[in-house]
């Protein structure tokens, strides 16, 4: 009886943890805002790289750069900037 209660309790706790994890991981499908020449803007964070700027509108740079997302193919292109590692290419030809 005690083992059965423990298994039931452990199962409920496990399902609760899985539900909480799934709820916290869902970000609501945040949309990307358009910039003046590129269609993505804002920043991304990487634990290893730090902050990444996806458009000169968000980075305050005088150099025109940005990342484009083709709505037809879903392919990224262009350049992003990180103060820690420099330019990040999203161009397929640079791979």
Q: What is the pLDDT of residues 7-50, one digit of tens each?
A: 777 778 887 777 666 666 665 544 444 445 567 878 899 999 99
* Residue at 81 is within a domain: yes
Residue 24 and residue 86: Cα distance in Å, rounded? 32
User: Residue 64 — pLDDT band, cuts 50, 70, 90?
Assistant: confident
* Residue at 75 is within a domain: yes
* Predicted confidence (pLDDT) at residue 85 exceeds the cutoff of 90: yes
What is the average pLDDT score of the chain? 77
* Residue at 74 is within a domain: yes
Q: Output the CA–CA distances (angstroms, integers) from residue 90 to 14, 20, 55, in the order listed.
A: 40, 34, 12
The per-residue pLDDT for 74 is 86
Overall pTM surpassing 0.75 (yes/no): no
* Residue at 57 is within a domain: yes
* Residue at 20 is within a domain: no
């Amino acid at each position: 009886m005690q083992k059965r209660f423990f298994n039931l309790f452990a199962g409920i706790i496990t399902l609760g943890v899985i539900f909480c994890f799934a709820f916290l991981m869902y970000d609501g499908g945040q949309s990307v805002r358009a910039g003046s020449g590129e269609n993505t803007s804002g920043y991304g964070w990487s634990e290893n790289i730090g902050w990444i700027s996806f458009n000169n509108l968000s980075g305050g740079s005088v150099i025109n750069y940005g990342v484009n997302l083709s709505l037809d193919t879903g392919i990224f292109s262009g350049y992003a900037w990180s103060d820690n590692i420099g330019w990040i290419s999203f161009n397929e030809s640079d791979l």
